[in-house]
Amino acid sequence: MTGFLQGSATAMITPFTEDGVNFDSLGAMIDYQLEGGTDALVILGTTGEPATMTEEEKQAVIRFSVARTAKRAKIIVGVGSNHTAHAVESARRAEELGADGVLAVTPYYNKCTQAGLFAYYRAISEAVEIPFIAYNVPSRTGVNLLPETAERLCDMKNFAGIKEASGNMAQVVDTMRRIRGKAELYSGEDALNLPILCVGGTAVISVVSNLLPKTVKALTMSAAKRQLYTANKIADALFPLAQACFCEVNPIPVKEGMNLLGFEAGVPRAPLTRLEPAHRQRLADTLQALGAEVRA
């Protein structure tokens, strides 16, 4: 299927207190994204730290996000697992709670075959009516969703596209070539947002847009209008921030970045740690250079 997602989607952080999810802060962050023109909110993806959340917390975050957004942007829920039955159940629950779509990372640690990947996504596809997005990030999962497998997924009725974060542009081009007109390609790597849009990607699923949603949206709009001079200018400005946001493992830097902007993002849950002081200063300097008001 095509047409599910265009423009900018934000891979949302989940703000925590010592007692649980900080829903007041999450609401402020959702409002900030909507004011910035973000087209979709991706919740409970890698950036949202679902690996260290309870099922009750996850469901509460889905309910809250659906209600707060009130159809002003799409809600896409991360449901991937290294246990197919768990991914299927998570997808069903997300649909029941009002999600517009689901995002399923390739199974991690198990390191299944391409046949296993196809069966995993087929199970998710058959379990729900809403669109699903496959997420390829081999640096985290140890598994690479190959272009020929991506092409096979296009036969599934609700396969919307692939969030591509392999970092391999040759593979990205091959995947786009194979799925073009049948499903969509979304950038899952901020440093490669513009190149992926230029080969036919329809959207970015961005970590950086937690911090600067208006700027990331402007990048996608410029690319869609083929205004490449403007798009390159925006991408050039954002590149140092993309680097700073991945100077430590995601979401450690972006979470601290939201604190720097005055949001109560809290700290990542263990085993993740708070951003190192030198990296925090680098992030603050980079945000200030982009005109952001650093308040903390």
Give the residue numbers marked as catalytic.
Answer: 135, 163
Identify which of 185, 188, 234, 184 has the alpha carbon closest to the alpha carbon of residue 207: 188
Sign for the pseudo-dihedral over CA of 141, 272, 85, 105: negative
Q: Given the DSSP bridges, would you call strands 101-105 and 74-78 parallel, antiparallel or unpaired?
A: parallel
Q: Which residues pair with 187 in a beta bridge?
A: 164, 204
How far lies 128's CA from each of 71, 102, 134, 258, in Å? 20, 9, 14, 34
Residue 63 CB coordination number (10 Å): 12
DSSP code, position 145 = -
Cis, peptide link before residue 251, omega less than 30° from 0 = yes
Residue 224 CB coordination number (10 Å): 14
Identify which of 152, 24, 158, 150 has the alpha carbon closest to the alpha carbon of residue 95: 158
Residues 77/94, Cβ–Cβ less than 8 Å: yes
**Interacting residues of 24 by C-beta distance below 8 A, sequence separation 6+:** 264
